[in-house]
Chain A
Amino acid sequence: RKEVEQDPGPFNVPEGATVAFNCTYSNSASQSFFWYRQDCRKEPKLLMSVYSSGNEDGRFTAQLNRASQYISLLIRDSKLSDSATYLCVVDSGGSNYKLTFGKGTLLTVNP
């Protein structure tokens, strides 16, 4: 099983659609969870951290289920500018602060 596994995508949605990304991780010792977005040929940028209680930032909602080792990201009312690759990122669970990245899911929002 891959350390961090995401929906392979790609996703093509119209503007205004709601889109959900799923991610599973294998390391039960992981403590920190993130969603990053990466635009083509650019570095990843932090979108949001994911907390056990779930968290929301505007149109973005992230959820974590530790028992299932599952993370999700929901984007509501998608905009053209949301088009990017979304990366699920999980820490190694140790004291070395290493992060493991999923392969990413490409989202294209169409007008």
Chain B
Amino acid sequence: GAVVSQHPSRVICKSGTSVKIECRSLDFQATTMFWYRQFPKQSLMLMATSNEGSKATYEQGVEKDKFLINHASLTLSTLTVTSAHPEDSSFYICSARDQYGVGLSYNEQFFGPGTRLTVL
């Protein structure tokens, strides 16, 4: 149980295009999903917290108009990188928290396999 999928796993695009990444909780309902970004040899940095049916909460320094997040259902959140540029190339990872906080710990998050974005 507690499986999270992401699609696509890898994307290469031209500068200026928009890229949409999907994050799905496959066997549980996730009222809260998180989007992280990880640059090479760096730690995961939280970009935003996505709550089902409401606007996402962005971390300081993350442009909400550039990274559009939609969490329309309890099993799906999407991140759209608009007008992507080479500096947006990174490993984007989503995670989901079980609606009822079930897991080893109340705060446990289940991670998707990540999406590697390369902007040329």
Residues of A within 8 A of B (CB): 31-32, 34, 41-46, 48-49, 87, 91, 96-104
Tell whether, in the assembled complex, residue A103 and residue B107 are in contact, meaning their CB atoms are under 8 Å apart. Answer: no
Tell whether, in the assembled complex, residue A99 and residue B46 are in contact, meaning their CB atoms are under 8 Å apart. Answer: yes
Nearest A residue to B45, CB-CB: A101
| Distance in angstroms between the alpha carbons of A73 and B34 in the assembled complex | 26
A96 / chain B contacts, CB cutoff of 8 Å: 49, 57
| Distance in angstroms between the alpha carbons of A103 and B111 in the assembled complex | 17
A97 / chain B contacts, CB cutoff of 8 Å: 32, 49, 97, 107, 109
Most buried by B among A42, A43, A101, A104: A43
Q: Can you name 20 A-B pairs with beta carbons within 8 Å?
A: A31-B107, A32-B105, A32-B106, A34-B108, A41-B116, A43-B93, A43-B112, A43-B114, A44-B44, A44-B111, A46-B108, A48-B104, A97-B32, A97-B107, A97-B109, A98-B46, A99-B109, A101-B44, A101-B45, A103-B42
B58 / chain A contacts, CB cutoff of 8 Å: none
Tell whether, in the assembled complex, residue A98 and residue B49 are in contact, meaning their CB atoms are under 8 Å apart. Answer: yes
Tell whether, in the assembled complex, residue B93 and residue A101 are in contact, meaning their CB atoms are under 8 Å apart. Answer: no
Nearest A residue to B104, CB-CB: A49
Question: How distant is A31 from chain B, measured CB to nearest CB, in Å?
Answer: 7
Tell whether, in the assembled complex, residue B97 and residue A45 are in contact, meaning their CB atoms are under 8 Å apart. Answer: no
